[in-house]
Structure 1
Amino acid sequence: MIVTGAGRGLGRSHVEALARSGAKLIVNDLGVNRDGQGEGLPVAEEVAAAIRAQGGEAIASQHDISDWDAAGGLVQQAIDTYGRLDAVVNNAGILRDRMIVNTSEAEWDDVIRVHLRGTFAVLRAAGAYWREQAKGGNPLQGNVVNTTSPSGLFGKPGQANYGSAKAGIATLTMIAAEELGPYGVTVNAVAPVAHTRMTADLVSDEGAMQTLAPEHVSPVVVWLSSVRSRSVTGRVFEISGKRFGIAEPWRHGPGIAPQGVMTPEEVGSIADTLLQAALPPERMGGNL
C-alpha cells in the first residue's frame, strides 16, 4: 500500500502502525520543509529502513504526488514492487498560512496543488488500476483514506488556501466513493487534530501534546485501510485524543418552495425567517 507524506508526523505514525499490522508499504515523502520548500531530505528512506529493521516490508518513494505523471509512477511502483495495490493513504501536504488579503498567488497555488491536486492525482491513478482489475474479473481490495482537516470542514482564519484544499478533499472523498464503489473500492477521509510540525506553533502545553499525539489517529487509518471497514465508504472521521466521531456533510436546512419569481423584498423577508430556523455555522471551537 501507499502512504504519502509518510516521513514525519502523522504519515510516519501511520506507516509504523500499518507495518505492525503486516502491510507492505511504499513510504512516499519529498523530505521538504512544512511550507514545501527547502532541500529534500531522505526521510522516506530513513522510515522505510527503520520498518525493514523491525522485520517489516517497506521501500521509499520520492515521487512528487502533485505531478500528474509522477503520481501515476508512484502507483506503478507499488504494483511493480508488490504485484498489486490494495490501499492508498493520501496524507501529504504543506502549510503556508496567510490572511486572505496578504496571500500571494504562489501561496494559494502551491497549497492547492499539493493537497487537492496531489490527492486527486494519486486517487485517479489508483482508481484507474482498480477499475481495470475489476473489469478483468480479478479480485481486489481497494481502500482509499484521504486526509481533510477541521479547517476545511469548519473554517479557520488565516487558512483560506489550506482550508479550501481540505474542503475540496472532503467533497472529493464523497464523489470518489460513489464513482469507485461499483469496482469494490471504498473511499473515506480522516480529519485529524494532532501535534506535528504542521501545528507546532499552535500547541505548546505538554498535556495537550499528549492528547493530540499522532498515535491517536493512526489506528483509524489502519482500520479504514483494511477489510474490517469494507462496509464503510464516503465518510469523514474526526479524530484526536479528545474526540472520535463522524463529521456530517452539508445537509438541506430550512427552505420553502417559491411561488414564482421572488422580489428582492420577498427574498429578504423569507431569508430572515429561514435564518431564524437554521442552525448557526459550526466553528472549530476547542479542537486545538
Structure 2
Amino acid sequence: MASTKSLDGKVIVVTGAGRGIGRGIALLCAAEGAKVVVNDPGVGTDGSGGDGATPAEQVVEEITKAGGTAVANFESVAEAIPASKIIKQAMDTYGKIDGVVNNAGILRDAIFHKMSIDAFEMVIKVHLMGSFYTSHAAARYFREQNSGSFVHFTSTSGLIGNFGQANYAAAKLGIVGLSKSIALDMGRFGVNSNCVSPFAWSRMIGSIPTETEAEKARVERMQRMGPEKIAPLVAHLLSDDAKEISGQIFAARMNEIFLMGQSRPLRSIHRAEGWTPQSLAEHGMPALKSSFYKLDRSADIFSWDPV
C-alpha cells in the first residue's frame, strides 16, 4: 500500500527550527515522512546570546521519540561558509536534499532615524543574505537531480508596511525578489520557489506591549495563532503535490490562507511631447492620485479577527 505521507523519503532543511514556527515546520515535516535537518544556533531574538545547541537538540529528540528521523545543526545562516555547512550536513547524513525552508530570523526594531547601522546590517544578513546562502548552497544539488523546493519566509512588514522595521521590511521584500528569481532561473530544472508570510505567535513578536486592555486583547488573539497553523502550507509546498506551484506569495493566518498580490502597473499617463516637472505637477500626478496607495500598516489591511 502506498504511503499517504506527503513528504515520504524526502530530506528537508529547516533553518531557525529550534523554536516557534520553524519548530512546528520541522515536527510536521518529520511526521509527514521527511528526514529533517533541524538548524538553530540557539541565539536570542536579536541574534545574541541564547541557549546554544539546546533548542535544536530538543526538537530532534521530539521527532525521534515520535518515530521520525532528524539531525541537529547549529550553524548560523548569516555567513556563507557556515550556511553552506547546513546543506552539506544534509548531504553527508542522508545523501541528498529535497527541500530548504528559509525560516531563520532576528529582530532589531527601531524607528528609522534612530536605527543603528549594525541593526540594519545584521537583520539583512540573517534574513536576506541567509536565505541566499542556504539556497545557493542547495541549488547545485537541485540542478544535478532536476528537482527541489524552496520555501522562503517573507512578512507583511515588507509586503504592506509596519512602524520601526525598515531593516526587517527591506530584508523581507528582498526575499520576495530572491524567490521569484530562483523560480525563473531554476524552473527548467524542476525546482520551485515560493514565499510564505506567516501570522503566528512566536518569540519574535512576543515583545508586543500589553499595557492597555486593547493591547492585552490583541495579544490574546495573536497567541491563538500557533505555529502549527503555518506548517501545513509549508509542508504542502515542499511536496510533489505542489511541484507546479512556483514564484507565488502566500500568507497563512489562523485557518485562512491568502494568495498575495505582486507588483503590476495600475494605470498610466501619457503626453505626446513628454513630461516636465511642471506638467507632472499640474496634470500627471493629479491623474494618478486616486490610485495612490495609502501608508497602510499590516494591521490596517488584516484588520479582522482571525477565526
TM-score bucket of the superposed structures, by smaller chain: over 0.9
Which residue, 175, 183, 191 being the options, matches 1:185? Answer: 191
Does the aligned pair in 1 maintain the 2:200–2:223 contact within 8 Å?
Answer: no
Aligned to 1:137: none
Q: Distance in 2 between matches of 1:50 and 1:146?
A: 24
Q: Distance in 2 between matches of 1:209 and 1:276?
A: 34
CA shift at 1:111, angstroms? Answer: 0.4
Which residue, 275, 278, 282 being the options, matches 2:289? Answer: 275
Matched, 1:32 2:46: no
Q: 1:245 to 1:39 in 2, by over 3 A?
A: closer
Q: Distance in 2 between matches of 1:97 and 1:125?
A: 29
Q: Which runs of 5+ in 1 are unaligned?
A: 135-139
Aligned to 2:127: 115
Aligned to 2:89: 77
Does the aligned pair in 1 maintain the 2:102–2:151 contact within 8 Å?
Answer: yes
Deviating above 6 A after TM superposition, structure 1's stretches of 4 or more consecutive aligned residues are none
Does the aligned pair in 1 maintain the 2:163–2:297 contact within 8 Å?
Answer: no
Q: 1:19 to 1:9 in 2, by over 3 A?
A: same
CA shift at 1:207, angstroms? Answer: 4.6
Aligned to 2:71: 59
1:41-78 Cα distance to aligned partner (Å, 9 max, x none): 22111111221111100000011112111121111111
1:104-163 Cα distance to aligned partner (Å, 9 max, x none): 1110110000000000111111112212333xxxxx3x0110000010100101011111
Q: Number of paired residues? A: 282
Does the aligned pair in 1 maintain the 2:229–2:255 contact within 8 Å?
Answer: no
Q: Distance in 1 between matches of 2:76 and 2:276?
A: 52
Q: Distance in 2 between matches of 1:133 and 1:20?
A: 24
Matched, 1:224 2:237: yes
Does the aligned pair in 2 maintain the 1:211–1:240 contact within 8 Å?
Answer: no
The alignment's TM-score, normalised by the length of structure 1, stands at 0.93
Cα RMSD, aligned residues only: 1.7
Aligned to 1:153: 159
Which residue, 12, 15, 37 being the options, matches 2:26? Answer: 15
Q: Which runs of 5+ in 2 are unaligned?
A: 1-11, 209-214
Q: Tell me whether 234-243 or 180-189 shows the greater mean CA deviation.
A: 234-243
Q: Percent identity?
A: 37
Q: Tell me whether 209-218 or 11-20 shows the greater mean CA deviation.
A: 209-218
Q: 1:61 to 1:277 in 2, by over 3 A?
A: closer
Q: SS of 1:59's equivalent?
A: strand
Matched, 1:101 2:113: yes
Does the aligned pair in 2 maintain the 1:27–1:44 contact within 8 Å?
Answer: yes
CA shift at 1:101, angstroms? Answer: 0.6
CA shift at 1:204, angstroms? Answer: 4.4
Q: 1:207 to 1:242 in 2, by over 3 A?
A: farther
Does the aligned pair in 2 maintain the 1:211–1:242 contact within 8 Å?
Answer: no
For 1:183-262, list aligned pairs within 5 A.
183-202=189-208, 204-205=216-217, 207-241=220-254, 243-262=256-275
CA shift at 1:228, angstroms? Answer: 1.0
Q: Distance in 2 between matches of 1:231 and 1:72?
A: 27
CA shift at 1:192, angstroms? Answer: 0.4
